């Protein structure tokens, strides 16, 4: 990784548009929050951008009022020649935890910026993807547990001050993406970093409380429905469950609350992989895939349906409706 190039852009630019991915998770919001706070501490102007509203479960990590769902309109106009010289005094885009270009939620705006030679920095831990060609600087390591871990390494390299709120935001990303330190990406490095973040005042108890132990009744009702429908397909050794739009309406659960559900379903010992299908808005069906099996690759599975993710956890989105014909579930 080219830290020098990254450092010079971070030092020279005065304004940064930070973008995390759509349907943000704990790592996306934690990274957005940590990067924003550290840049502000260096006197920079920062726009916190996320296409979707910050889910309540992660709102303790960030000042939600400061997160904007639209592309900032008051960015300074920049001469492309000035931008060519590393955007001196200008602005830059920092993409956090995005996985791929579409996941940013702002492909048009980012393409436009790129065509005006605005520097784009991609900080991520997803496997190599289409953002690599777009970004000027790629800080990507798919062996890192999380984008939180990537940021931790960068901040440590630059010897930037990690406050307790930055430490909490970074640790929340690590905590989320390691499945509360249960997934295989919980390496010695991750635990050493966790120790260091705790020394910097990271509030692990708060993270656990907010992200694991603060469950709503509606969530339990939704889990009940999903658990009652859990089916193991013996032929393929796959377990799956279904959530319809109607289930979400009736239980008043939110889509974000589904994220933890697939992990719960995946704790069943009888199958090699778990699939949760749920009806999202606008006639879309989202699929969430999990495995604990080293021989399987969920990211490839999801990619065959235009989705993406990691080896052990991935997702996709298809057009359709889930119907029950009295006997079986069907996708129409």
Q: Which chain residues interact with Mn ion by CB under 5 A?
A: 27, 97, 146-147, 177
Kindly tell me which of 27 and 247 has the beta carbon lying closer to Mn ion. Answer: 27
DSSP β-ladder status, 91-96 and 120-124: parallel
Kindly tell me which of 146 and 271 has the beta carbon lying closer to Mn ion. Answer: 146
Distance CA 92, CA 85 (A): 12
Kindly tell me which of 37 and 177 has the beta carbon lying closer to Mn ion. Answer: 177
Helices (H), 59-163: 80-84, 107-115, 131-134, 147-158
As measured in angstroms, the least distance from the Cβ of 197 to Mn ion is 16
Kindly tell me which of 147 and 288 has the beta carbon lying closer to Mn ion. Answer: 147
Distance CA 86, CA 92 (A): 9
CB 96 within 8 A of CB 147: yes
Q: DSSP assignment, residue 29?
A: H
As measured in angstroms, the least distance from the Cβ of 191 to Mn ion is 18
Which candidate, 200, 164, 18, places its Cα nearest to that of 94? 18
DSSP β-ladder status, 308-309 and 313-319: antiparallel
As measured in angstroms, the least distance from the Cβ of 258 to Mn ion is 17
Q: DSSP assignment, residue 54?
A: P
Tell me the C-alpha to C-alpha distance, in Å, between residue 300 and each of 105, 165, 221, 233, 258: 22, 36, 32, 20, 22
Name the closest residue to Mn ion (Cβ).
27
Kindly tell me which of 144 and 222 has the beta carbon lying closer to Mn ion. Answer: 144
Question: Counting every residue, how long is the chain?
Answer: 332
Q: How far apart are the first and last CA of the chain?
A: 46
As measured in angstroms, the least distance from the Cβ of 148 to Mn ion is 8
As measured in angstroms, the least distance from the Cβ of 75 to Mn ion is 26
As measured in angstroms, the least distance from the Cβ of 273 to Mn ion is 20
Kindly tell me which of 13 and 170 has the beta carbon lying closer to Mn ion. Answer: 170
Distance CA 266, CA 318 (A): 22
Distance CA 264, CA 271 (A): 13
Distance CA 109, CA 101 (A): 11
Kindly tell me which of 183 and 229 has the beta carbon lying closer to Mn ion. Answer: 183
E strand or H helix at 226, and its extent? helix 217-228
Distance CA 237, CA 315 (A): 19
As measured in angstroms, the least distance from the Cβ of 99 to Mn ion is 8
As measured in angstroms, the least distance from the Cβ of 147 to Mn ion is 5
As measured in angstroms, the least distance from the Cβ of 317 to Mn ion is 18
Which candidate, 64, 88, 67, 65, places its Cα nearest to that of 76? 88
């Amino acid at each position: 990784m080219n830290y020098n190039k990254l450092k010079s852009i971070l030092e020279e630019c005065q304004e940064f548009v930070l973008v995390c991915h759509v349907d943000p998770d704990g790592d996306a919001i934690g990274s957005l929050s940590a990067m924003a706070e550290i840049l502000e501490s260096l006197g920079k102007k920062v726009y916190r951008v996320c296409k979707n509203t910050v889910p309540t479960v992660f709102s303790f990590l960030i000042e939600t009022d400061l997160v904007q769902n639209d592309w900032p309109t008051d960015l300074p106009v920049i001469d492309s020649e000035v931008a060519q010289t590393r955007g001196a005094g200008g602005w830059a885009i920092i993409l956090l935890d995005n996985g791929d270009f579409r996941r940013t939620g702002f492909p048009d705006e980012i393409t436009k910026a790129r065509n005006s030679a605005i520097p784009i920095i991609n900080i991520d831990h997803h496997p190599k993807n289409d953002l690599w060609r777009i970004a000027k600087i790629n800080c990507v390591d798919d062996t890192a547990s999380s984008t939180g871990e990537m940021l931790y390494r960068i901040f440590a390299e630059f010897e930037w001050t990690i406050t307790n709120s930055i430490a909490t935001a970074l640790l929340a990303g690590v905590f989320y993406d390691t499945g509360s330190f249960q997934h295989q990406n919980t390496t010695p490095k991750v635990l050493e970093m966790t120790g260091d973040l705790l020394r910097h005042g990271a509030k692990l108890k708060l993270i656990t409380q907010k992200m694991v132990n603060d469950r709503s009744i509606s969530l339990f009702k939704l889990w009940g429905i999903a658990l009652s429908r859990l089916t193991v397909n013996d032929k393929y050794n796959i377990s799956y469950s279904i959530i319809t739009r109607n289930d979400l309406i009736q239980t008043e659960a939110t889509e974000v609350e589904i994220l933890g559900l697939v992990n719960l379903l995946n704790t069943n010992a009888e199958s090699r992989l778990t699939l949760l299908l749920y009806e999202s808005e606008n006639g879309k069906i989202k699929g969430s895939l999990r495995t604990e099996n080293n021989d399987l690759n969920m990211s490839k599975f999801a990619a065959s349906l235009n989705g993406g993710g990691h080896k052990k956890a991935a997702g996709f989105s298809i057009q359709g409706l889930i119907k029950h014909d009295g006997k079986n579930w069907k996708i129409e």
